[in-house]
């Protein structure tokens, strides 16, 4: 179950962040922020090699004792960062993949909205509901 | 699929509307209309760029623009043609109907080494309806502005700054010239 989901633009500013409002949200914000470094490292490291693995599989960025942070980069260098709670059951990579794919599809729909200017914060209800469904799903 | 016809009608009406309202028939006024069309195409291209299959990115990442610019013309050859081809297939797939085969664009690098690509389409769907031959040559560029913007928008989503222009010598064949701008 995802605990925090963030969308970061190409220029490294936040387009969207949402977390479960139970505990200290700031902690998740910090986690997302620090994981951005790891994302950049991975991108530059894999830049020379063949990289068709990168898009298809989100990468585990940073494991802590009770959370895992996963990252995923799209064609347009927009990054999705997801913080996942480990306390329930361990989410398999396939499930993480499918969650990121759903997220990417939602983001694509937001981009296709002609009233949305690329680079603005995301205020779409459809996107919110996708994120909510990921946060409250009990697998 | 009816989508193809819908888009063609919409596009025809867009061009007609912009030209009907243009109060200034001189080249200055026409440029505004053309840039409006191109701007619309750009925004649509940006959105379409997100939908592109992710494999196109794999080739492009091998050569970030910071690297050897002298090789740029040749090195970008593979990924750009792949992207433009995919993109064209998407559009061609949307526009083609079952009775007409989708257009087959041919692309090749020009002799200029700075990354100029020419995309030639001998059967451009938006022009096919007009005429075959040199009859409406003056009217043709209006119908290409949107597509130029589309290509430019898609490339910009993928991180490539470019300049796209179009030229027509005989309908319905047209050429799109894509110049990659080095940052």
Q: What angle, 0 to 180 degrees and rounded to 10, lies between the N-to-C axes of helices A93-112 and A125-136?
A: 170
- Predicted pLDDT at B183: 53
What's the Cα-to-Cα distance from A10 to each of A14, A86, B169, rounded to whole Å?
Answer: 9, 29, 40
Token pair belonging to B167: 């030229």
- Predicted pLDDT at A78: 86
The partner residues of A39 in beta bridges, in order of sequence, read: none
- Expressed as residue numbers, the domain containing A83 is 2-136
**How confident is residue A90, by pLDDT bands cut at 50, 70 and 90?**
low
Task: Give dist(CA A79, CA A39) in Å, integer.
Answer: 8
For A99, half-sphere exposure in the C-beta direction (CA atoms, 13 angstrom radius) is 29
Structure ipTM: 0.77
What predicted TM-score, i.e. pTM, was given to this entire model?
0.74
Q: Does B157 touch chain A (CB under 8 A)?
A: yes
Q: Taking a contact as any Cβ pair under 8 Å apart, which residues of chain A between 37 and 66 contact chain B? A: 46-48, 50-52, 54-56
Examine residue A38 and say whether the peptide bond preceding it is cis (omega within 30 degrees of 0).
Answer: no
Task: Give dist(CA A133, CA A63) in Å, integer.
Answer: 23
User: Which residues does chain B have within 8 Å of residue A77's beta carbon, measured at their own beta carbons?
Assistant: 159
Chain centroid, CA A66 distance in Å: 18
Q: B24: Cβ–Cβ under 8 A, 6 or more apart, which residues?
A: B30, B32
Nearest Cα residue in chain B from A57 = B54
Bridge pairing between strands B174-180 and B162-168: antiparallel
- A110 or A45: whose pLDDT is higher? A110
Angle at B53 between CA B112 and CA A134, to 5 degrees: 145
Q: What angle, 0 to 180 degrees and rounded to 10, lies between the N-to-C axes of helices B27-51 and B3-21?
A: 150
Number of domains in chain A: 1
| Local confidence pLDDT in tens for the 183 residues of chain B | 577 788 888 888 888 888 887 666 666 667 788 888 899 999 998 888 888 765 554 444 333 332 223 322 333 333 444 455 555 554 543 332 222 233 334 443 333 445 677 777 777 777 777 777 777 777 788 888 888 998 899 888 888 888 888 888 877 778 888 888 765
Q: How far is B85 from chain A (nearest CA, A)?
A: 16
CATH number at residue A91: 3.30.450.70
User: Which residues does chain A have within 8 Å of residue B155's beta carbon, measured at their own beta carbons?
Assistant: none
User: Which residues does chain B have within 8 Å of residue A46's beta carbon, measured at their own beta carbons?
Assistant: 61
CB contact under 8 A, A55 and B57: yes
The partner residues of B109 in beta bridges, in order of sequence, read: B117
- Predicted pLDDT at B123: 74
Among the partner residues B43, B52, B62, nearest to A75 by beta-carbon distance: B52
Task: Give dist(CA B120, CA B106) in Å, integer.
Answer: 5
């Amino acid at each position: 179950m995802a605990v925090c989901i963030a969308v970061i633009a190409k220029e490294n500013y936040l387009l969207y962040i949402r977390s479960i409002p139970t505990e200290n949200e700031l902690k998740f914000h910090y986690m997302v922020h620090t994981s951005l470094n790891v994302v950049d490292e991975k991108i530059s490291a894999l830049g020379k090699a063949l990289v068709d693995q990168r898009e298809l599989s989100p990468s585990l960025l940073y494991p802590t004792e009770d959370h895992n942070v996963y990252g995923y980069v799209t064609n347009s260098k927009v990054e999705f960062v997801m913080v996942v709670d480990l306390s329930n059951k361990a989410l398999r990579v396939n499930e993480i993949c499918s969650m990121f794919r759903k997220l990417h599809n939602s983001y694509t729909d937001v981009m296709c909205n002609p009233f949305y200017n690329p680079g603005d914060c995301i205020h779409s209800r459809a996107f919110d509901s996708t994120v909510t469904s990921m946060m409250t799903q009990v697998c | 699929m009816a989508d193809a016809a819908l888009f063609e009608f919409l596009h025809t009406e867009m061009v007609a509307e912009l030209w009907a309202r243009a109060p200034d028939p001189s080249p200055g006024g026409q440029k505004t209309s053309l840039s409006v069309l191109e701007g619309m195409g750009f925004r649509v291209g940006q959105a379409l760029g997100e939908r592109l299959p992710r494999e196109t990115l794999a080739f492009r990442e091998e050569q970030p623009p910071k690297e050897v610019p002298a090789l740029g013309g040749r090195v970008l050859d593979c990924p750009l043609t792949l992207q433009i081809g995919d993109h064209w297939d998407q559009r061609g797939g949307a526009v083609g109907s079952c009775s007409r085969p989708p257009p087959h664009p041919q692309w090749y690098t020009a002799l200029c080494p700075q990354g100029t690509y020419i995309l030639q389409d001998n059967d451009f769907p938006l022009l096919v309806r007009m005429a075959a031959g040199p009859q409406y040559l003056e009217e043709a560029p209006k119908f290409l502005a949107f597509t130029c913007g589309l290509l430019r928008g898609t490339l910009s989503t993928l991180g490539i700054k470019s300049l796209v222009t179009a030229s027509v010598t005989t309908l319905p064949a047209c050429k799109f010239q894509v110049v990659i701008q080095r940052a």
